[in-house]
């Protein structure tokens, strides 16, 4: 009888696992329906999320001229994939899922598929971004980057809340990485201030930084490129102590922690062209 009970329990577990696998939404299904929940996205692996995002870009986002407007997020997902971060149910997974859900629901709203933001404050901001992009209102980098940064910040904050509601909090390394992403979004939203800081403090880092501050900033914050965010994420992962320039605090101090290696990488990319 004991063996029979054990066999039944094992069979039930296999059936349950098969049912759960069958219920999982595929990246293609989510990109087509644009109604997958954070739970659906949390169940995806990082390679699957990359497929999901790229399918949204080449599919519904293309209608707004946004087929390359989340490549920087692709870079972050690639970093997670390569570091084997973001398993289902972790802090990284929930935060990333919140970002992707915001993009997804924003596209759905912009396409007129209802008005439900799925509880994600970033959804409406992404819908506005998509619509303004289509209408030609975001051709200038400053307004474009601010709109993009505000939408992602709202989605990211929601992802953090979801993670904490599930009892998941960032580790020390994850928090440092998250700090880099916060700096990136802050830089997107504050182009004039960042360029002024680079003009003033740039010579303390590299003799050419002040002179090249505009092309460097445009390279670093280009949402259509995956390499700068991937490289920045790797730098954030490696850094353990902050040594900001004297007189700088808050986001500017964090920004200048990452800039030395980022600027050297930028110079290397230019010389290789």
Question: According to the model, what pLDDT value does residue 117 have?
Answer: 87
101 and 38 in contact (C-beta within 8 Å)? Answer: yes
Interval 234-263: pLDDT, tens:
888 887 555 566 666 678 888 888 899 899
Give the Cα separation of 206 and 210 in Å (integer).
8
96 and 229 in contact (C-beta within 8 Å)? Answer: no
* Stated pTM of the model: 0.88
* Strand, helix or coil for residue 170: coil
Spans of all domains in the chain: 28-169, 170-273
Give the Cα separation of 184 and 235 in Å (integer).
13
Question: According to the model, what pLDDT value does residue 250 have?
Answer: 79
Q: Residues in the chain with pLDDT < 50?
A: 6-20
| Whole-Å CA distances, 115 to 8, 111, 169, 240 | 46, 10, 31, 43
């Amino acid at each position: 009888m004991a063996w029979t009970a054990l066999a039944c329990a094992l069979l039930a577990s296999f059936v349950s696992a098969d049912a759960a696998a069958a219920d999982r939404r595929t990246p293609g299904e989510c990109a087509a329906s644009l109604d997958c929940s954070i739970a659906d996205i949390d169940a995806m692996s990082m390679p699957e999320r990359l497929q999901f995002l790229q399918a949204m870009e080449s599919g519904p986002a293309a209608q707004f001229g946004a087929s390359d407007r989340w490549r920087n997020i692709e870079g972050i997902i690639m970093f997670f994939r390569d570091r084997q971060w973001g398993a289902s149910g972790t802090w990284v997974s929930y935060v990333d899922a919140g970002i992707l859900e915001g993009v997804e629901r924003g596209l759905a709203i912009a396409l007129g598929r209802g008005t439900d933001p799925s509880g994600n404050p970033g959804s409406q901001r992404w819908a506005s971004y998509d619509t303004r992009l289509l209408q030609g209102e975001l051709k200038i980098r400053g307004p474009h980057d601010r709109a993009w940064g505000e939408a992602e910040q709202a989605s990211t904050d929601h992802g953090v809340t979801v993670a904490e509601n599930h009892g998941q909090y960032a580790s020390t390394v994850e928090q440092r990485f998250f700090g880099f992403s916060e700096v990136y979004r802050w830089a997107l939203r504050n182009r004039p201030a960042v360029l002024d800081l680079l003009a003033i403090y740039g010579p303390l880092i590299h003799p050419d930084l002040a002179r090249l501050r505009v092309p460097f900033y445009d390279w670093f914050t280009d949402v259509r490129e995956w390499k700068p965010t991937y490289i920045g994420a790797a730098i954030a992962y490696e850094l353990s102590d902050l040594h900001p320039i004297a007189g700088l605090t808050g986001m500017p101090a964090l920004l200048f922690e990452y800039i030395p290696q980022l600027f050297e990488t930028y110079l290397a990319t230019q010389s290789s062209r």
